[in-house]
Amino acid sequence: MKKKIELSVISPCYNEEDNIVEFVNRVYDNLNKFTQDFEIVLVDDGSTDNTWVLIKGLKKKFKGKLKAFQFDRNFGHQKALLCGIRKALGKNVLTMDSDLQHPPELIPKLYNELKKNNIDLVSCERKINFLSIKYTLSKFFYYFFNATSNIKIKNNISDFKIFNRKVVNNIINLNEKNIFLRGVIPWFGHREKLIQYNLEKRKKGSSKISLLKQFSFAFDGIFNFSKLPRKLPLYFSLIFLILFIICLPFIIYEIIYKDISVFTFFYTFISFVLFLIFLFMSIITEYLGRILDNLNNRPDYIIKSEL
């Protein structure tokens, strides 16, 4: 059994050749301020630039303090985080992004807050002082998620957090595909503290999370934790049943006493019914697809190489 160390810092990276060297250097410097018993775990999520080449150079420089895993292809940010958590040896684990928008200078503070308060988890709440479509959409998502789910996520909470081995073990023991860590961790109900930080603008490169990936991320959260999609058919059926009962006498009157086209009425009615049928079929298909994902039991990711 491998010896546990005090702290593992985990960071997914995807096409971060502009930031990865500065990121690792700053993380290393800040860890050295309070402990020598640490490791830095990088997970390359199928980068197509020189990120992995640079990580190899960093491995030579930092040797036993750094380990890295390279995916065969891009499996997604959450899968990369999950891989890092599974591979980490730390009694405590800190997760953060490698684009430098999560400031490494906060690492000592996060560790001290975890230890002095004797809690399981410290999460960072970002203060955004600049306009961004990405973070505006994120606010709408959190509002909708909290309105439709029993699990509540604080606005502007990201994956920048530190937690103890109890949380790590609970995550590892999950057998859940399409994992949504920002929902899973609050679901455990661990003792948590929030600290605020100023989110910095990207200094180099651009965000690798496209609008499509953001929507995919949001769907994972909603379909994994919200019961609303499952209840939508029931709600709509009740609404349209009530509307049909209210409108039925008027429709009969129009058909009998006025010159109304029955064909037009039924064409409109059937078109709308078909729309609802296909809407609800898509919701059912989404849940069936997720059940199939679990039954297939495919691995969450494929590791191409490791350092």
Cα separation, 92 vs 299, whole angstroms: 25
CA dihedral angle for residue 229, residue 230, residue 233, residue 236, rounded to 10 degrees: -50
Name the token pair of 265: 């009425």
Cα–Cα separations (whole angstroms), residue 248 to 244, 256, 262, 276: 6, 12, 14, 19
Strands 66-71, 38-44: pairing kind:
parallel
The model's pLDDT over 247-296, given as tens digits with 9 standing for 90+, comes to 667 666 666 666 656 655 665 667 667 677 767 776 776 677 667 666 65
Tell me the average pLDDT of the chain.
78
Contact 95, 159 (CB under 8 A): yes
- Domain positions in the chain are 5-205+301-306, 228-296
With CA atoms as reference, report the closest residue to 187 among 221, 138, 215.
221
Instruction: Tell me what pLDDT residue 135 has.
Output: 61
Determine the pLDDT at residue 278.
Answer: 66
pLDDT value, residue 87: 93
Instruction: List, for residues 129-182, the tens digit of each pLDDT value.
Output: 665 566 666 666 666 666 666 666 677 777 889 999 999 998 888 877 777 777
- C-alpha 75/C-alpha 77 separation (Å) is 7
The helix, strand and coil proportions of the chain, stated in percent and rounded to the nearest 5, come to: 55, 20, 30
Spatial CB neighbours of 149, under 8 Å, sequence gap ≥ 6 = 183, 222, 225, 226, 227, 228
The burial of 175, by beta-carbon neighbours within 10 Å (0-12 exposed, 13-18 middle, 19 or more buried), is given as exposed
Hey, which CATH number is domain 5-205+301-306, 2.60.110.10, 3.40.630.150, 3.10.50.30, 3.90.550.10? 3.90.550.10
Taking the CB of residue 137, how many other CB atoms lie within 10 A of it?
14
